[in-house]
A and B are shown apart, each in its own frame.
Chain A
Amino acid sequence: AQTVTQSQPEMSVQEAETVTLSCTYDTSESDYYLFWYKQPPSRQMILVIRQEAYKQQNATENRFSVNFQKAAKSFSLKISDSQLGDAAMYFCAYRTLSYNTDKLIFGTGTRLQVFP
């Protein structure tokens, strides 16, 4: 069974600085998807960025980018030029490529604080 591990329960960053959130996963599959979701306080979870395992190029969405290391089964999220609105819980998630299911497997989350 696949598992996702986020070893940083909490992280903090100064506004305008860069922060990296860690995520590792375990799977025997060769093709899959990885995601980072963000849940601001009292608001719904939204997708920040996704990565297809077969793509070697790291995904980027504006100030958000990932460092995908397939062999190491590592999928970290880098937030550049951090803003106060980036404060949230961040969840790393895995999805199998199987057409029998598309459930997401999540980590325990990292709470990010942004200080002015």
Chain B
Amino acid sequence: EAGVTQFPSHSVIEKGQTVTLRCDPISGHDNLYWYRRVMGKEIKFLLHFVKESKQDESGMPNNRFLAERTGGTYSTLKVQPAELEDSGVYFCASSRRGLSSYNEQFFGPGTRLTVL
């Protein structure tokens, strides 16, 4: 079974540019999450999809961030326009349907975003 994949692994852009991160969850996982870790700080929750619907987007920092999950499969996270403080590692995770401790969240390797 393939794990959660994320693309690209690294992205370096200039302030004001647009970047789109992609996450492919494990096949059959209805839940998809985005998290972000700014250097040296905690990993923070951004949002949670159940299939194509946003279940919880309380962690989205501002309206420069747009997440989509068309068709309930892969998800994209677009940052437009990027600011210096958006630099960090963006993690995606997926889990099976249902809110339970046994629905383990499986993480991707992350996308390291650097905004210059």
A: residues with CB less than 8 A from B are 4, 33, 37, 42-47, 50, 52, 91, 95, 98-109
Evaluate contact between A46 and B107: CB separation under 8 angstroms.
Answer: yes
Contact partner of B99 (CB less than 8 A), chosen from A37, A45, A99, A106, is: A99
A43-B109, A102-B31, A108-B40 are known; give 12 further A-B pairs, CB within 8 A. A44-B106, A46-B107, A47-B105, A52-B101, A95-B101, A100-B56, A102-B95, A103-B45, A104-B33, A104-B35, A106-B35, A109-B42
Evaluate contact between A108 and B56: CB separation under 8 angstroms.
Answer: no
At the interface, yes or no: B67 with Cβ under 8 Å from chain A? no
At the interface, yes or no: B108 with Cβ under 8 Å from chain A? yes
Q: How far is the CA of A52 from the CA of B110 in the complex (A)?
A: 27
Contact partner of B110 (CB less than 8 A), chosen from A44, A50, A91, A99, is: A44
Q: How far is the CA of A52 from the CA of B48 in the complex (A)?
A: 22
Nearest first, the 4 closest Cβ-Cβ pairs linking A and B are A106-B43, A103-B45, A45-B107, A44-B109
B: residues with CB less than 8 A from A are 3-4, 31, 33, 35, 40-45, 48, 55-56, 58-59, 91, 95, 99-101, 103-110
Distance (Å) between the CB of B78 and the closest chain A CB? 21
Evaluate contact between A102 and B103: CB separation under 8 angstroms.
Answer: yes
